[in-house]
């Protein structure tokens, strides 16, 4: 199982001092909110390494096939099992997403947000199909991008912190790489649901990433201080 060195986490942070308030509040802000969110995400990724990336697994997917493919009636089932994360090319933090938000309708409620992007995320799985007899293969599929949106919310009235992480996977038209390749795998690539691994990847946010981020926010990284009547730098 690969290990992703934290040095590969690229910080894309050129113009991060954005303040949004469901409208604009100019005389109150968090100090160094961008550094705060970057640190939270960095430490979260570091903890991924400590706990091993092999924990990023996918649920089994079963696909029923009953259609005409390549001029022939094709009927049977395909099971994609034992799914797991194979590799990530690199990670970065999207500059335009690192912002602080002050809620006008709930005074004292402030959020810091940022997006972690995983580029070229390859997942792997075992394939069992009964099309024209029983066949077994291994396969990989590459998602060009996977996003994880971090939100740290603080209620200044009661000094309470909470964390949420939400995953999303943009659509992709890549093909599955099967081993071995044959006539059956040509059929499988024709009918493969390219969004079939998306629910499992999205679940990584809540099941794996959010608990780690929450632990870091609650115990390791100090929330930014509030500055009143301060200029935005």
| Closest alpha carbon to 67 in 77, 59, 75, 57 | 75
Q: How far apart are CA 150 and CA 85, in angstroms?
A: 21
Per-residue model confidence (pLDDT) at position 213: 97
From first to last of its 233 residues, the chain has per-residue pLDDT tens of 334 444 445 544 333 334 444 444 457 888 889 999 999 999 999 998 888 888 899 999 999 999 888 888 889 999 999 999 999 999 999 989 999 998 888 888 899 999 999 999 999 999 999 998 899 999 999 999 999 999 999 998 999 999 999 999 999 999 999 999 999 999 999 999 999 999 999 999 999 999 999 999 999 999 998 888 776 55
Domains of the chain are: 14-224 (3.15.10.50)
The closest alpha carbon to 83, from 59, 64, 63, belongs to: 59
Alpha carbons 125 and 127: distance in angstroms, whole number: 6
Q: Which helix (H) or strand (E) holds 215?
A: helix 210-219
Task: Phi first, then psi: give them for residue 139, nearest 5 degrees.
Answer: -150, 155
The pLDDT, as a whole number, for residue 189 is 94
* pLDDT computed for residue 232 by the predictor: 58
pLDDT value of position 9: 54
Of 150, 148, 146, which Cα lies nearest the Cα of 98?
150
């Amino acid at each position: 199982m690969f290990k992703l060195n934290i040095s590969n986490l690229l910080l894309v942070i050129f113009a991060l001092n954005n303040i949004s308030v469901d409208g604009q509040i100019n005389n109150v802000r968090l100090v160094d909110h961008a550094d705060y969110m970057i640190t939270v995400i960095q430490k979260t990724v570091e903890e991924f390494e400590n706990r091993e990336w092999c924990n990023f697994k996918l649920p089994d997917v079963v696909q029923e096939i009953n259609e005409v493919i390549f001029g022939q009636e094709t009927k049977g089932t395909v099971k994609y099992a034992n799914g797991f994360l194979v590799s990530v090319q690199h990670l970065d933090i999207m500059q335009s997403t690192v912002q602080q938000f002050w809620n006008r309708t709930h005074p004292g409620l402030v959020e810091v947000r940022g997006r972690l992007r995983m580029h070229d995320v390859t997942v792997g799985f075992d394939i069992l199909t009964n099309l024209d007899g029983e066949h077994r293969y291994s396969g990989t599929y590459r998602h060009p991008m996977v996003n994880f949106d971090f939100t740290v919310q603080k209620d200044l009235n009661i000094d309470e912190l909470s964390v949420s992480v939400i995953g999303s996977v943009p659509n992709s038209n890549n093909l599955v790489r099967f081993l071995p390749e044959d006539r059956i795998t040509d059929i499988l690539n024709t009918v493969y649901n390219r969004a079939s691994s998306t629910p499992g990847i999205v679940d990584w946010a809540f099941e794996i990433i959010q608990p780690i981020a929450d632990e870091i926010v609650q115990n390791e990284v100090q929330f930014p201080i509030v500055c009143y009547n301060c200029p935005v730098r």
